[in-house]
Structure 1
Amino acid sequence: MATEVKVPVLGESITEATLGEWLKQPGDPVKQDEPIASLETDKVSVEVPSPVAGVMGQQAVKVGDTVLVGAMIATIDAGDGKAAPAAASAPAATAGQQAPAASSDTPAALSPSVRRAVLETGVDPSTLKGTGKDGRLTKDDVLSAASAPAAAPAPSETPAVAPSVAAATSRTEERVRMTRLRQTIAKRLKDAQNTAAMLTTFNDVDMTAVIEARAKYKDLFEKKHGVRLGFMGFFAKAACMALKDIPSVNASIDGDEIVYHDYADISVAVSGPGGLVVPVIRDADKMTVAQIEKTIGDFGKRAKDGTLKMEEMKGGTFTISNGGVFGSLMSTPIINPPQSAVLGLHRIEDRAVVVDGQIVIRPMMYLALSYDHRLIDGREAVTFLVALKNAIEDPTRILIDL
């Protein structure tokens, strides 16, 4: 007897999703509550668990199909997987031929982000060993292989044949449908540009004091709190202090009204398999640096695993985006509506600066604040960045709330 697997409830106001990846193939043994498929919604990826133990049966939809909440997408048959029930639905192999087995490196088994990485790098997925769940290839596997030095070709005893002109000039293209998450990101960012009177102001900050504090206490911090001491904890805490001083940066526009918040829910942009996602640190203004670091670390891990919950992405009064981890020197980040401002952090690099009349080398970072000029004046934006700069350059201010 087969048990139907249906699309689970995905969250408030979400009625459909896209099938992003099959995690189990027909004939595979399946445990109860083991994920068999991954769904892509407007905000996050959601894994669909098996309601019973048995054998993966029919796959009712294909990768890329849109499915509604409550729709049947697969069946789980009784058994333990030894009999390979999928053979009945597959065409019989002719004499001397064997039907190819599904593997984690076939194009059909690769997730959209991995397929895109394969296309961009030209790496042959069949030559790689996956480090993901059940040995599946991940995007990092492909990028690591692409960045590895190529092995020297073995000497040939026969003279090489010159490639034909047609082969040398051959070019191919492939169209890949945008994921639902990427479509939503594109729409929201364009809507933000069309709606807000967006402007960006810059400043720079000397990271010497924070770097010294981190180097002095990072081992004790990790031993006590079980998480590494990074820079985001300092910036999130300093931003919360600056938001209290300049409440308009933490406000939003609702129709013809301005909504001021007496709390700071900080959205932090973290990288996931399908792009950037923005989970929210609730009541960050009431947290310690250690609590903020623990929360961000948990968000980053679960973003890579695709296990962030949709309710964790809702709300937020202010966003911090750290492009510096990817090497960005300077950028103009886009507001995350209905928020009115976003802080962009960038890479730290040694630069010559003047201190007390002397030219010295200091680790400097550019800060960028994009804001909605309909609500936030230039004076307020600059004052916010200066307050943030002062707190980072003198971290004692964070401790005494100055």
Structure 2
Amino acid sequence: MTDVKVPVLGESITEATLGEWLKKPGDAVKADEPIASLETDKVSVEVPSPVAGVMGEQFFKVGDTVEVGAVIAVVGEGGAAAAPSPSPAPAAAPAPAPAPAPATDAAALSPSVRRAVLETGVDPSTVQGTGRDGRLTKDDVVAAAAAKPAAAAPAAAPAPAPAPAASGRKEERVRMTRLRQTVAKRLKEAQNTAAMLTTFNDVDMTEVIAARTKYKDLFEKKHGVRLGFMGFFVKAAVQALRDIPSVNASIDGDEIVYHDYADISVAVSAPQGLVVPVIRDAQDLSVAGIEKTIGDFGKRAKDGTLKMDEMKGGTFTISNGGVFGSLMSTPIINPPQSAVLGLHRIEDRPVVRDGQVVVRPMMYLALSYDHRLIDGREAVTFLVALKNAIEDPTRLLIDL
């Protein structure tokens, strides 16, 4: 038997939550094939089998806390377990045939789909995948789960007994994921530690929208990625951070740490909650480079394949609540950073231009900052610099 141990999970991370067993005792496993998934403070991590063989005893249940280095299961080094299938092939071929299919399908599911399957109880073998090559997506599982009550309704209707119970109020208790616990803890720490203040401004998106409309097809053809608004905002933020370095700084004890680089954290929605990967050295990237990085983060966040190192550090955060329809918010700082920019939805509003009331696509900007380090004048100056760059994107090209 070979021990399966919890791998090193990253700097300062000593434990995780067992999120899911991907193999059952008795299942055949290949070397390096994932047999379990762990939830850490930031991402899901798959635990591979160290050898090929048969899944043995599992020492922890889903939801248990496991420490780095702990033995969570054993694998029997039984190469013969996979070999018997060729010898009894003539007689045994019909029986094993159905069994491997679901096992193979389950192993091929992405972490986000496996999590959705675990949470909804949907049998993935009964769902038709709409992804590439017929692969299941999270939306497929959610849709199948939503359809289940409808299918069960006719069978439940004839039964008179459950009727009284249906009128009662119900509650469900669900254990908080480790990610949600960590987010709650860190956000509360930020409120308790920083002297947080939020300053607002609005920005006319007319010119950026026009530029995006004019060049989006050429941009996608050349760079292989869609041209969004985040590329403009990250680029504008980098310039504003250079002019107002305190917004890009942090407090360490009784010292202020100034950074001559801009590592921009971007909030991305993932199945297990909000994650914040970091665009490293954003000051050296073009708009195309920024968009490619963000697109890659978004895809891998949905698949649950973001790496721990990709979410460490960061000197400034941009959170786009506008994609969910938010009109205005007061974002919370991501410690140890000292500021976070909140973007919101774009909507047509009447504004005055040259003495005339006209309709323009406007967006509210919100900068939450640590008042211990950043003065109100600096916060306002930062937002005005950002606003000017977005309202006149040429500034981004000629570095104004």
Same fold (TM over 0.5): yes
Q: Equivalent of 2:352, from 351, 354, 373? A: 354
Task: List alignment gaps of at least 5 residues for structure 1.
Answer: 85-100, 119-123
* Between 181-190 and 46-55, the greater mean CA deviation after superposition: 46-55
1:280 counterpart letter in structure 2? V
Find the aligned partners of 1:173 and 1:220 in 2 and give their Cα distance.
53
Q: Equivalent of 1:295, from 284, 293, 298? A: 293
Deviation at 1:200, TM superposition (A): 0.8
CA contact (8 A) 1:7 1:69 kept: yes
Q: Does residue 371 of the first structure (1) align with residue 361 of the second (2)?
A: no
Deviation at 1:163, TM superposition (A): 7.7
What is the percent sequence identity of the aligned residues?
Answer: 79
What's 1:241 paired with? 239
TM-score (norm 1): 0.83
Matches within 5 A, 1:34-53: 34-53=33-52
Deviation at 1:285, TM superposition (A): 0.9
What's 1:338 paired with? 336
What's 1:232 paired with? 230
Matches within 5 A, 1:81-120: 118=120
**What secondary structure, in the 3-state scheme, does the structure 1 residue paired with 2:235 have?**
helix
**What secondary structure, in the 3-state scheme, does the structure 1 residue paired with 2:242 have?**
helix
Q: Equivalent of 1:396, from 375, 394, 397? A: 394
Task: List alignment gaps of at least 5 residues for structure 2.
Answer: 86-101, 107-111
Q: Does residue 386 of the first structure (1) align with residue 378 of the second (2)?
A: no
1:45 counterpart letter in structure 2? S
RMSD after superposition: 3.3
Find the aligned partners of 2:255 and 2:72 in 1 and give their Cα distance.
45
What's 1:91 paired with? none
TM-score (norm 2): 0.83
Deviation at 1:110, TM superposition (A): 8.8
Q: Equivalent of 2:122, from 122, 125, 137? A: 125
**What secondary structure, in the 3-state scheme, does the structure 2 residue paired with 1:267 have?**
strand
Structure with higher helix content = 2
Deviation at 1:345, TM superposition (A): 0.7
With over 3 angstroms needed to count, the CA separation of the structure-2 counterparts of 1:207 and 1:57, relative to structure 1, is same
With over 3 angstroms needed to count, the CA separation of the structure-2 counterparts of 1:340 and 1:374, relative to structure 1, is same
Q: Equivalent of 1:279, from 277, 280, 287? A: 277
CA contact (8 A) 2:117 2:123 kept: no
CA contact (8 A) 1:36 1:47 kept: yes
Find the aligned partners of 2:36 and 2:153 in 1 and give their Cα distance.
42
Find the aligned partners of 1:31 and 1:183 in 2 and give their Cα distance.
34
Find the aligned partners of 2:20 and 2:154 in 1 and give their Cα distance.
42
1:39 counterpart letter in structure 2? L
What's 1:96 paired with? none
Deviation sequence 1:211-257 (CA, Å, 0-9, x none): 11111111221222121111111100000000111111111111122
Find the aligned partners of 2:192 and 2:150 in 1 and give their Cα distance.
50
* Between 301-310 and 124-133, the greater mean CA deviation after superposition: 124-133
How many equivalent pairs are there?
Answer: 373
**What secondary structure, in the 3-state scheme, does the structure 2 residue paired with 1:125 have?**
coil
Deviation sequence 1:262-289 (CA, Å, 0-9, x none): 1111111111221111111111111111
Deviation at 1:161, TM superposition (A): 8.0
CA contact (8 A) 1:113 1:274 kept: no
CA contact (8 A) 1:239 1:388 kept: yes
CA contact (8 A) 1:27 1:56 kept: yes
CA contact (8 A) 1:114 1:138 kept: no
CA contact (8 A) 2:122 2:144 kept: no
Deviation at 1:365, TM superposition (A): 1.1
Find the aligned partners of 1:12 and 1:369 in 2 and give their Cα distance.
30
Deviation sequence 1:318-343 (CA, Å, 0-9, x none): 00011111111111100001111000
1:261 counterpart letter in structure 2? H
Deviation at 1:145, TM superposition (A): 5.1
Deviation at 1:197, TM superposition (A): 0.8
Q: Does residue 180 of the first structure (1) align with residue 178 of the second (2)?
A: yes
